[in-house]
Structure formats: structure tokens, C-alpha cells
Amino acid sequence: MDNNKIMPSVFLKKGKERLVQSKHPWIFSGAIEKIKDVKQNGETVVVKSFDGKELALGAISIHSQIAVRIWSFNVNKKIDDQFFTERINSAISLRRNIINFDHTNVYRLINSESDLIPGLIADVYGDFLVCQFLSAGAEFWKATIVEILKKLLNINNIFERSDTDSRRKEKFEEKSGVLSGIEPPDFVEVVENGLKFLVDIKSGHKTGFYIDQRDNRNLIKDFAKDKSVLNCFCYTGGFSLYAHSAGAKSITNIDSSSAALKILTKNFSINNFPSEQVTNIEGDVFQVLRKFRDEGKTFDLIILDPPKFAESASQVNKAARGYKDINLLAMKILNTGGVLFTFSCSGHITQDLFRKIVDDAAIDSGRTVKFIRQLTQSADHPVLSSFPEGLYLKGLVCEVT
């Protein structure tokens, strides 16, 4: 730390220095005794114990309950261009080890806290990079980060999709638009494991695509050959294209978004996949599954990949009922020996609770369920060991008899 300069500081309450020792990257406002010399939201602060011992450097978020996000536990580090260059470089080198660029050009390059850059998401879509600046600290360093990304990557087109809930919690306006290079076309064509996908990076969900499901989509190929497949919450058809490529007999897709289903149809066509055995249903999965149950319609392989049902801890019970409902319905319409790929992306639903929910559904449906795989988010969405909140996606592959 530069001792000649007065650094803004955050003093923790007595005893709260333990939080910093566990290397968790968040400091909640409740742990703070006083804040000194802070002039600008997002600027770098020294985190100190109640008696003034320097513990870490972080970004202050004036309006958020997460009052400080730690940049470094080394108080001698300078938070500057060099710092972000190092952090971004190590995120890039991890992806070199886990992405096969021969057949995939869509991946998460920077995963916020878990890549030690809290508040920053950066996803690569071929020649485009899509960024989210979700915290005051990330926003503070935006121009620096954009310049470094341009320098380190072979990508000049950077688009911002900071139109999220977490941004609202920081009292920043939602923002999306070009940060560098050209305006993206309505659909950017990308390749994932050799399959082509059209992605609407300007207004699609998240940064345009559910990149976190790549490894799980690939796994569906082992189960899809000659099977009748039902893809619930299909979005633009991720699991369906993989299932088709593996020789599925028929594919039924359900999503409430007509825009997503239109892209799904285009995705089948750009891969030259015939659409005769593909049925698209625009509707509510809860209702459509009930209708299938009442009609006695059955499938060999069902995918349940719903949106986040629990946005906060207070919604866990209601969310659990929702998960149980769809899992129960799916089990009722699976053929004997059928396979269920079931997911929850709610961070507040733990792995244990999710298994319990699926077990409850098994009991109520009268089926025997074996967990044959336990899944999580793809490898380019790493989880920092000191940040368990980074693990949000849970999946179970179930054999249902």
C-alpha cells in the first residue's frame, strides 16, 4: 500500500476480522464499524480490523448490502492496470486448458468472484465479447478493464449487458450497448462442441446463451440415441440439438418464449437437421406436463432445466414446491427405464435439498429413481474454494423405473 496517500478505509467491528481470514470475497455492511475518507462509489478501500490492522483491499459498494468486494488479501498490492491485467491473464490461461477451441468458440472467460474479479462477467461469442459490470468496483474500473480485454484478446467487439438485478441492488441504472468495435448483428452464429447456435447477444437471456450447460448438453448425447426426448424449458434448443445429433427418435420442446422457439427452429436449420421429428410447444411447462399426464403421453428421456425459482432465501420453500411439482410430473410420464436430466440453478437450493426434492417426487410418483450422475456448471464457470456461493447449478441424471 502507498503510505503517502490517504487511503479510504473500512473498519470492521471487533471480531469480524475472522471473515477476512477465511478469504471470502464479500464483506457485508453489518460487519462494518465505520467508513472513512470514501469519496467515490466503487473506489478502492483498505479493510481494517477494529484496531486499525490492515487486512485486505477491496471495492466499496455504497448502496449494496455487500459493502466491500475484496480485490486482494495482500495489502501491498496496487489495484491498477497491472493488477487487472494479471487477473484477466490468469482467467484466460485457465480457459486455454478447458476449452477446445477447435470446436467451441462460445465460453465464459471471466466468472466474477471465482476468477478473482468480483462483479465482472465476460463471455466470448466468436468475434464478440459480452461483459456485465455488476458491482460498484467493476463499474469503477470499467474503462480500464475494457482496454485490457482489447489488448489481451484477439477480439475488438465488446458489448455490455449490464441489465441485471444485481446491478439494481447497487443502485446503478441498467445498461446495455457497444463498448468497443461494431454493433452486434441480431444473431451471432457460434459453435459449441461442433454444433452451430444463433445467439441474440443484445437481448437474449443472461448474455445471450446458457453457456453454463455446455458440458451437460454434451452428456445428453450418451442417452439420446433412438429415444423420444422431451426438452422442458428448452430456450433456443441447446439440449435438443445435441439430442438430435446423437440420433434421438423424436424431440418435443416446451418453452414459454416464442422468441426462443423461433431461434430454436433456426438452429435446427443452420445445422441442416431435419425438423419432421421435432415438435415445438409454446406454453407453460407446468400445464403442458399435466396435459401429457392426463393424455397418457410418455417419453424415454426428459430434460427439466427451469429458470431460477428461488431468487432469495425467503423463496426456498415455494421454489422447492415448484421443483417437486415438475419432477413428479416428469417421473409420471417417463417410460420404464427412462432417464431424467433435472436441474436447479437457484443458488439458495443446496445440492442436498435438491436431491431431497427429487427423492420426494420419486416417492410420490411411486417410481424408483437412481441417481446415475451428479452434475454442475461447466468448467469455464469455476467455483473459488473460499466462495461456495459460486456453485449455483446442480443437476441429477436419474434412471427412473
Measured from each CB, the residue nearest to ligand SAH is 238
Q: Is 172 in the site for ligand SAH (CB under 6 A)?
A: no
Whole-angstrom distance between the N-terminal and C-terminal Cα of the chain?
A: 62
Amino acid at 288: V
Positions 298 through 337 that interact with ligand SAH (CB under 6 A):
305-307
Q: Which stretch binds ligand SAH (CB under 6 A): 145-153, 160-168, 281-289, 315-323?
A: 281-289
Q: Which stretch binds ligand SAH (CB under 6 A): 164-172, 282-290, 315-323, 334-342?
A: 282-290
Q: Is 235 in the site for ligand SAH (CB under 6 A)?
A: yes
- Whole-angstrom Cα distance, residue 317 to residue 303? 22
Q: Which residues of 85-103 are buried (b: 16+ CB within 10 A; e: fewer)?
A: bebbeebbebbeeebeeee
Q: Is 210 in the site for ligand SAH (CB under 6 A)?
A: yes
DSSP code at position 203? T
Q: Regarding beta strands 157-162 and 128-133, do their DSSP bridges make them parallel or antiparallel, or are they unpaired?
A: parallel
Q: Is 252 in the site for ligand SAH (CB under 6 A)?
A: no
Place of cell 500500500: 1
Place of cell 406436463: 289
Amino acid at 292: F
Interhelix angle 285-295/316-332, nearest 10 degrees = 30
- Whole-angstrom Cα distance, residue 86 to residue 66? 25
Q: Is 187 in the site for ligand SAH (CB under 6 A)?
A: no
Q: Which three cell numbers stand for residue 319?
A: 421454489
Q: Figure out which of the listed residues 260, 263, 396, 397 binds ligand SAH, where binding follows CB under 6 A.
A: 260
The distance of closest approach from Cβ of residue 107 to ligand SAH in the complex, given in angstroms and rounded to an integer, is 14
The distance of closest approach from Cβ of residue 151 to ligand SAH in the complex, given in angstroms and rounded to an integer, is 32
Q: Which stretch binds ligand SAH (CB under 6 A): 44-52, 264-272, 279-287, 349-357?
A: 279-287
Nearer to ligand SAH, 17 or 212 (CB): 212
Q: Is 238 in the site for ligand SAH (CB under 6 A)?
A: yes
Q: Which stretch binds ligand SAH (CB under 6 A): 71-79, 86-94, 165-173, 233-241?
A: 233-241
- Whole-angstrom Cα distance, residue 339 to residue 243? 13
Q: Is 256 in the site for ligand SAH (CB under 6 A)?
A: yes
Q: Which stretch binds ligand SAH (CB under 6 A): 255-263, 290-298, 350-358, 388-396?
A: 255-263
Host H or E run for residue 270: helix 258-270
The distance of closest approach from Cβ of residue 234 to ligand SAH in the complex, given in angstroms and rounded to an integer, is 6
CB proximity list for 382: less than 8 A, separation 6 or greater: 94, 111, 114, 115, 390
Please give the residue ranges that form the binding site for ligand SAH (CB under 6 A).
210, 213, 217, 233-236, 238-239, 254-257, 260, 284-286, 305-307
